[in-house]
A and B are shown apart, each in its own frame.
Chain A
Amino acid sequence: MSMTSVSRAASPLTLALWIGVGVLALFSLYTLAIARGEPVNAMWLVAAAVGVYAIGYRFYSRFIAERVLRLDATRRTPAYRHNDGLDYVPTDKWVLFGHHFAAIAGAGPLVGPVLAAQMGYLPGALWLLTGVIFAGAVQDFVVLFISTRRDGRSLGDLIKTEMGPVPGVIAMLGILSIMIILLAVLALVVVKALADSPWGAFTVFATLPIAVFMGVYGRYLRPGHIGEMSAIGFVSLIASIAFGRTVAETPALAALFTYRGETLALMLIAYGFVAAVLPVWLLLAPRDYLSTFLKIGTILSLALGICVVWPQLRMPAISRFIDGSGPVFAGSVFPFLFITIACGAVSGFHALVSSGTTPKMIADETQTRFIGYGAMLMESFVAVMALIAASVLEPGVYFAMNSPPAMIGVTPEAAASAISGWGFAITPDALASVAANVGEKTILSRTGGAPTLAVGMATILSSVVGGATAMSFWYHFAILFEALFILTTIDAGTRVARFMIQDLVGTFIPAFRDTKSWLPNLIATAIAVSGWGYFLYQGVIDPLGGINTLWPLFGIANQMLAAIALTLCVVVLFRMKRDRYAFIAILPTLWLYTCTITAGLEKIFHSDSRIGFLAHARKFSDAVENGKILGPAKTLEDMRRVIFNDYVDAGLCVIYIALVLAMIGFALAAIRQARSAKGVTTRESEDELLQPAGA
C-alpha cells in the first residue's frame, strides 16, 4: 500500500536493498517462529527488529508524512514564531532526537517485556514489532505533529479545543490515575528488588548522600558544570556498589540494611513525601542527571553486549502459559499480553512528551517524522533488548524469580520441584548457585522484572567484561540503575500529581491553587503520596504477589491514555478533511479500545480468582465465613483488607471502562460534526494557516 503511494521512481539498487532488508526481516522472524525446543540465537530477534523498524520507517512513516499529514517544510514552527531563547528554541534535529528519546524512555519498556516472557519470547516480540509500527510510533508522531501546528500546546489542552471540555477532563483524570498506579507499581518493583538484600539496599541508600553532594556542588561550588557533577556521582556510585559487597558479607553491617518488604514500603512512602517538598536542586535535579546518563549508557552497553556475545534464547518461542495460567501474571494472550507490554509497543504517556517540550523546539515540521516516529522505534528496541535479557536466562530461573511464593514456596527445593513440574526442569542447586553468583541470599519471587533483567544483563555483560567474578557487580549495577531511575520518577511524579490535585481542588477552593504557600503544598503532597502509597502497600501484602494485580491496572490505564491520544488524532484527521487517510489512527484506536475494555471486564468479572477481582474477593469472603485464613494473610483482619482491596481495584476498572466509553461517544460526535462541515474545521495556529478555514 505505502510503497505504491510514495510516487517516486526508486533506482534498481535502492529497490534491491529494500527487498534485501525485507527478506532478512522475514527470514529472521521465520527462524524465531519455527524454533521448537532448540535455543535460538538472540541475533535473529535483533535482525528481525531492525529490519522491521527500517521498513516501517522508510515506507509507513513516509506515507503518513507525505500523504496523510502532508508535512510542510515551509511552515514556521512554534520554535521560530515564539522564539524566546528558553523554552521555544529551534534545535538541531539530532540533539532534539536525544532529548525526546530521553524524555519518553523510562522504566516501563524494561519491565513489561520481562513479565510477558512467561508466554515465550515470540508473542511479546510480535506485539512489540507490530504495535510500534502501527500504533505506538504513529501516536507519538501524529501527536507531535498536531501539537507543533498548535503552538506546542499540551495534550489536555488540545483535546479540550478539538473535542470539548469534558473529554479534556477525562484525559486529565486518565493522566492522574496512570501516575498514581505507575508510581505504586514502580515503587513495588524497588521493594521487591531490595527486600532482604543488604547489598542492594545499601547502594540505593548511598545514592541519597551522593545526590545531595552533587546538588551542593552544582549549586554553590561549580554552578552549571553538569559533566563534573555527574562524573563525581558516577564514580561514587561505582564505589558504593563495590563497598556493598563488604556490607553484605559483614553480619553487623548486613543487619543494618536488611529489610522486609513492608518496612521498605513505609520507608519509600516517607521518602516520597520528603523528597517532593525538598528544593529541586538538592536531590531531584542531581539524581535526574545521574539516572538519565546512566540509562543512556546502560542501554548502549546492553546493545553492545548483545551484539558482541550473541547470546542464545533459552526461553521457548511459545510457552504453555499462553493459555492464561502463567505464574507471572494471569490471563490469556488476548487481551493481557497487549496490556502487559504497553511501553515499547504503544504508550499513552508519550503523548504528553510529544505535546510537551519537544514541539516547542522543532526547527522544521518535516522533522516530526524523524523525532516522533524514529525515537519510538528506538524505545521499542530497548523493550526488545529487555525481552532478550529475560529470555537468555534458564526458564527455570526465570520462573523462580517471577512467581509468587504462593505458587512456588519459599525454599529452593520447593521452588525447583514446583517449576520442574511445570515442565521447566531446574535443580535446587542451580537456583542456589544463581543466588550465590549475584551475591544474594535468594532469588526466589523477586518479581517485578527488575531483578530478572539484572540477572539477564549481568549474564550478558559479565561475558564481555569481568567474567563470572563480575556477575554480582553487574547484577547490583543493574539493580541500582533501575532503582535510581524509579526513585527519580517517584519524586517527579509525586510533584506532578501534587500539582494536578492542587489544580483540581483549586476549582472549588481557589486558595488551594497557590503553589507558593506551604499548607496547600503539604496537603496535596500528602494526598498524592497516600494515593500511590496505598496501592504500594496493598501490593506488598497482596496474596498474588502485587505485580500480578497492579501491573495490569497500570497497563490498562496506559493503553487507555494511548487510545484517548489516538482518538484525538482521528478527530483531527477528520477535521482536516483527510477522511480517507484517517484509518492510520482508527485501526490502532479500535485495537486499544478493544484491549482495554476486554481486559477491564475480565479483571472485574472473570471467574478465575487469579484474574477477576470479584472472584478473588468472593474466594476470600467464603473463607472468612468458614473461619478459614488463606495465606499469606495471617489474621481475619488481613483477610478483610484483601477483600476491600479487591473491591477498590474492581472499582478502578469500572472507572476506566466508563472513561473509555464516554470518550468513544465524544469522538463519534466530533467526527459526525467534522464530516457534515463543508471545509476544514480543525483549529491550527491562525497565522500559520495556508488557506482560510472553510466552516
Chain B
Amino acid sequence: MNCCSLPGLDVRKIAGKLRAGARLMVGQGDYDAYVAHMRTRHEEVDVLSPSEYFRAREKARYGGSGERAFRCC
C-alpha cells in the first residue's frame, strides 16, 4: 500500500524523478542502474561503492577538461 499516491498521480514516483533529475543536473547518474548494469553485463569486474561512484562521476564532470560544468547560455 502506498501512502503517497493521489488518484492518477504517483507522488512517490514523481518525487523520485525530481530527485534523479536534480542529481543528473550536477553529473550524478543513477547508482542503482549502474549496479544493475554491472551485475548483468560485467560480473567479473568489481562494482564501485556509492562513494566511489560519486567521486568517479564528480571527476568525469569536473576533472579532465571541466567542460561539463561550463555553461554559457
Contacts and interface: CB of A to CB of B under 8 A. Distances in A.
A493 B34 CA distance: 29
Contact of B64 (A293, A347, A499): A499
A285 B62 contact: yes
B60 A95 contact: no
Interface stretch (A3-11, A82-90, A249-257, A265-273): A82-90
B22 A85 contact: no
Nearest to A276: B66
B73 A107 contact: yes
Interface stretch (A98-106, A434-442, A456-464, A629-637): A98-106
Determine which residue in B33, B35, B67 has the highest number of CB atoms from chain A within 10 A of its CB, and name it: B67
Contacts of A106: 71-73
A378 to B, nearest CB: 13
A94 B72 contact: no
Given A226-B23, A288-B26, A83 B71 contact: no
B12 interface: no
A492 B24 CA distance: 18
Given A289-B26, A347-B72, A98 B62 contact: no
Contacts of B71: 103-107, 488-489, 492
Interface in B21-52: 21-26, 28-30, 33-38, 41, 50-51
A293 B70 CA distance: 15
Interface in B6-26: 17, 20-26
Contacts of A349: 72-73
Interface in A334-372: 342-344, 347, 349-350, 352, 356-357
A102 B65 contact: no
A92 B20 contact: yes
A106 B71 CA distance: 5
A609 interface: no
A223 B54 contact: yes
A280 interface: yes
Given A224-B50, A558-B73, A98 B65 contact: no
Determine which residue in A97, A347, A491, A492 has the highest number of CB atoms from chain B within 10 A of its CB, and name it: A492
Contacts of B36: 85
A224 B29 contact: no
B72 A281 contact: no
B66 A496 contact: yes
A357 B35 CA distance: 20
A223 B33 contact: no
A495 interface: yes
B30 A89 contact: yes
Interface in A179-201: 179, 182
B60 A87 contact: yes
A86 B24 contact: no
A91 interface: yes
A342 B21 contact: no
Contacts of A357: 68
Contacts of B58: 280-281, 285
A284 B66 CA distance: 9
A152 to B, nearest CB: 13
A78 interface: no
A86 B20 contact: no
A543 interface: no
B38 A91 contact: no
A91 B23 CA distance: 13
A496 B38 contact: no
Contacts of B53: 224
Contacts of A48: none
A179 B68 CA distance: 14
A343 B59 contact: no
Interface of B: 17, 20-26, 28-30, 33-38, 41, 50-51, 53-73
Given A500-B65, A558-B72, 5 more contacts: A91-B30, A99-B21, A488-B69, A493-B66, A495-B65
Q: Which 4 A-B pairs have the closest CB atoms?
A: A108-B73, A343-B73, A495-B66, A106-B71
